[in-house]
A = this chain, B = another copy of it.
Amino acid sequence: MRGVGCEIGDNDMKRREYSFKQIGIIHTPHRAASETPVQPVFAKEIRGTVEVFPEYIDAMRDLDGFSYIYLFYYFDRTTQTRLKVKPYLDDKIRGVFATRAPHRPNKIGMSVVRLLRMRKNIIEVEDIDILDGTPLLDIKPYIARFDVRRPVRSGWQDDICDDIAGRRGRRDYKKEK
């Protein structure tokens, strides 16, 4: 067994911590959580910009060849951690790992957004469901060969019809804002 491994129930197991630094900032029209769509699919055509801090500009090379990118960010306005949550799209209590809710033990957010264009350290994106000012942690390309799966089951989400998902998923977002 490796150094960081542990037996179940072993109270002496070592729990490590890892420090991640902000590498940029996400600018969007979403100023209030209650008016922010809960997923990119419910945020169609909403545009935003990802500002990568200039010292990381070399890491952005070749990114503009991809139609979609993953943004990884920190849910900086979520203060609580809850192991059980009521998802926005559902009325039943679910384990937080079975949801995309922000109240997670580690507040890592992930969104797949459409890349429109890049200029220097700025990426223009569409379908953005992220609060304005959110700290960026990482960017990865969405690669068809790796990321398109055919899940037989999407758990409790399979019981939510598209109409209801669309209505609840947009939350109180108003285009005219």
- Does B39 lie within 8 Å of A146, measured CB to CB? yes
Question: Are A135 and B100 CB-contacts (below 8 A) given A105-B23, A122-B8, A140-B110?
Answer: no
- Does B155 lie within 8 Å of A108, measured CB to CB? no
- Does B27 lie within 8 Å of A22, measured CB to CB? no
Q: Which of A32-85 contact B (CB under 8 A)?
A: 39-41, 51-54, 56, 58-70, 72, 74, 76, 83-84
- Does A23 lie within 8 Å of B139, measured CB to CB? no
Contact with B along A120-145 (1 / 0, CB 8 A): 11100000000011010111111111
Question: Are A76 and B157 CB-contacts (below 8 A) given A61-B94, A97-B139?
Answer: no
- Does B135 lie within 8 Å of A16, measured CB to CB? yes
Chain A, interface size: which category? 35 or more
- Does B154 lie within 8 Å of A145, measured CB to CB? yes
Contacts of A72 in B (CB 8 A): 106, 108, 110
Q: Which of A81-133 contact B (CB under 8 A)?
A: 83-84, 94-100, 104-108, 110, 112, 120-122, 132-133
A156 to B61, CA, bound (A): 11
Query: 10 A-B Cβ contacts within 8 A?
Result: A8-B122, A16-B135, A21-B105, A41-B146, A62-B156, A63-B155, A64-B155, A66-B155, A99-B141, A108-B108
With both beta carbons as reference points, the residue of chain B lying nearest to A101 in the complex is identified as B140
